[in-house]
């Protein structure tokens, strides 16, 4: 093994640096290492992803409807959740803007418009499973019903805060997803249509 040949070329492939030696065992080593590395990285990322997702549920940011939404995502529609969620956030920002305009002047508040906005927001948030946002919408609606401008303003602020917070969180989640996919792993789901992981694949290269 200790031959001059072993000090072979240093190559850069796929942006990664590795040392290729001419003998055949080098191939086993390489593959083992790659797979192992890949598996480790993927495993780590996947654990991270799952933990993060679970924490989002636990902290009340998301509820069951988000799970249902994830169920609708598959190989044919790989970005479904992201699209719906981004639409939701767009909607949120638009509605919040319009509601804030309505609530601007204390003497001329168009509660009807605010009410319809809140209704929309509630509907959207319950469709995507944004639990906190939905809960705020409920109290918002109550304030609106009694035409409490102060209350409405407070709720509006809270809604704004909540949706932005959720946006950040979901962004992180999607980033993690992307990283997993890039590392060659699969997004952990709870459904049999995705295989979880391949930590034990070993290349057997000796004939």
In the complex, the residues that contact other proteins under the rule CB under 8 A are 1-2, 6-7, 9, 11, 13-14, 17-21, 23-37, 40, 64-65, 68-69, 71-72, 74-77, 80, 83-84, 87-88, 91, 116, 119-120, 122-124, 126-129, 184, 192-193, 195, 198, 200-207
Contact 137, 144 (CB under 8 A): no
Residue entry with tokens 């290349």: 203
From the CB of 107, what's the least distance to other proteins, in Å?
Answer: 25
Which is nearer to other proteins, 74 or 150 (by Cβ)?
74
Which is nearer to other proteins, 64 or 104 (by Cβ)?
64
Which is nearer to other proteins, 14 or 58 (by Cβ)?
14
Contact 25, 6 (CB under 8 A): no
Contact 158, 192 (CB under 8 A): no
Cα 70 vs. chain centroid, distance in angstroms? 10
From the CB of 106, what's the least distance to other proteins, in Å?
Answer: 25
From the CB of 8, what's the least distance to other proteins, in Å?
Answer: 9
CA distances from 84 to 34, 62, 77, 78, 80 (A): 36, 14, 11, 12, 6
From the CB of 183, what's the least distance to other proteins, in Å?
Answer: 12
- Dist CA 176 CA 174 (whole Å): 5
Which is nearer to other proteins, 93 or 154 (by Cβ)?
93
The token pair at 61 is: 């940011």
Contact 69, 84 (CB under 8 A): yes
Which is nearer to other proteins, 127 or 154 (by Cβ)?
127
From the CB of 191, what's the least distance to other proteins, in Å?
Answer: 10
């Amino acid at each position: 093994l200790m031959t001059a040949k072993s000090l072979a070329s240093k190559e850069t492939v796929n942006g990664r640096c590795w040392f290729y030696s001419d003998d055949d065992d080098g191939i086993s080593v390489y593959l083992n290492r790659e797979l192992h590395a890949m598996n480790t990285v993927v495993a780590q990322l996947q654990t991270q992803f799952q933990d993060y997702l679970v924490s989002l549920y636990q902290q009340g940011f998301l509820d069951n409807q988000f799970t249902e939404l994830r169920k609708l995502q598959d190989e044919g529609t790989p970005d479904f959740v992201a699209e719906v969620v981004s639409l939701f956030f767009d909607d949120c920002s638009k509605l919040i803007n319009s509601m804030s305009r309505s609530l601007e002047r204390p003497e001329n508040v168009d509660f009807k418009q605010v009410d319809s906005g809140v209704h929309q927001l509630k509907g959207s948030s319950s469709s995507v499973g944004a639990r906190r946002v939905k809960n705020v919408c409920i109290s918002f609606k109550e304030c609106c019903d009694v035409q409490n401008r102060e209350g409405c303003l407070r709720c509006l602020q809270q809604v704004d805060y909540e949706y932005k917070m959720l946006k950040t969180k979901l962004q992180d989640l999607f980033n993690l997803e992307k990283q997993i996919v890039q590392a060659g792993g699969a997004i952990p789901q709870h459904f049999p249509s995705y295989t979880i992981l391949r930590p034990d694949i070993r290349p057997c290269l000796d004939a």
